[in-house]
Amino acid sequence: MNDVEPTGPTDLAALAAGIERTNELLTRVLAEVATTPSTHAAFVDAGYVYAAAGRLVTGTEDRKAFDLDAEGIIEAFIDKARTIFPDSRLLRVYWYDGARRRIHTQEQQRIAELPDVKVRLGNLNANNQQKGVDSLIRTDLESLARHRAISDAVLIGGDEDLVSAVEAAQGYGARVHLWGIEAAGGRNQAEPLLWEVDSQRTFDLDFCKPYVSRRAGVDFGDPAAAEGPAPSREEVRFVGARVAAQWLAERGRGWVAELLPGHPYLPGTVDQELLTAAEALLRHSLRGRADLRRALRDGFWERVQGQY
């Protein structure tokens, strides 16, 4: 025998009241979501900014030869973001740089004291090359995107190693916008990075000039005199093949064969080794020259693949 009592008028009224309260709650939540502004953050590779802006304005990437008004250019980046994302609020600007033993320099301390700016430091090696900066950018960018802390990310840099950071953030629904600084002799941002981002923007000489000044007592003469003329793509390509041949002889085919599944990319540490070795042979910096770094990798891979 069925002992279930039929639903009475009182129960129906309670059910209807519960549904009405739920609908009111959902309405308030949706209204709050609709009025909550989107959020953006800027991720700035300081090494790229110094190198690209220094070369564009003064003809050299040597930080000792010029001063960069970091506070001014950071504020300019913030203002530009305000115009591009008018309905979005700034979370903060992340400023990634290198320092010996990750100890802030006086300049980095001043930058860290700026409002809405977070300084993140990688190491500097004996050749004044940044180590660990790309991994810091990836960690922050991925974490903020994963926790829905940002809807848009402005990435100011040019290294191919940042591709994985872009892909990770996009995988969590964030849009990534790549900003760069004009290069007089070609691109200074890796093509794979340009392919992956959602939008691109380049700042020209007029934008950068107010924030870069030559230091007194430094004789620039010919802007390229400190290093000599830039090598051609073919020269860099040849050096890439030369380094590959040397590594094949020193490290063996087995070690190099482990790199093949990653073609056309190289692990970050190997890519830095290749860059350092090539610059020593060329006696010329390839920093900020994505086109020449691409030629370097092409020469390296051609020689490696020719052995298998």
Q: Considering only CA atoms, which of 180, 206, 208, 201 is closest in space to residue 290?
A: 180
Burial class (CB in 10 A: 0-12, 13-18, 19+), 75: middle
Question: What is the secondary structure of 160-199 as a DSSP string?
Answer: GGGHHHHHHHHHTT-EEEEEEE--TTS--S-HHHHHHSSE
Q: Which residue has the higher pLDDT, 246 or 290?
A: 246
Question: Residues 125-164: pLDDT tens digits?
Answer: 555 565 667 888 999 999 999 999 999 999 999 888 889 8
CA distance 211 to 76: 10
Q: What is the pLDDT of residue 265?
A: 72
Residues in the chain: 308
Confidence of residue 220 (pLDDT cuts 50, 70, 90): very low
Largest CA distance in the chain: 104
Q: What is the pLDDT of residue 79?
A: 93
Residue spans in the chain of domains classed CATH 3.40.50.1010: 39-214
Tell me the fold of 39-214.
Rossmann fold (3.40.50)
Q: Which residue has the higher pLDDT, 9 or 114?
A: 114
Q: Indicate if the pLDDT at residue 189 is higher than 80.
A: yes
Mention every residue, 6+ apart, whose C-beta is less than 8 A from residue 67: 212, 213, 214, 215
Question: Residues 48-82: pLDDT tens digits?
Answer: 999 899 988 988 888 888 899 999 999 999 999 99
Q: Indicate if the pLDDT at residue 88 is higher than 50.
A: yes
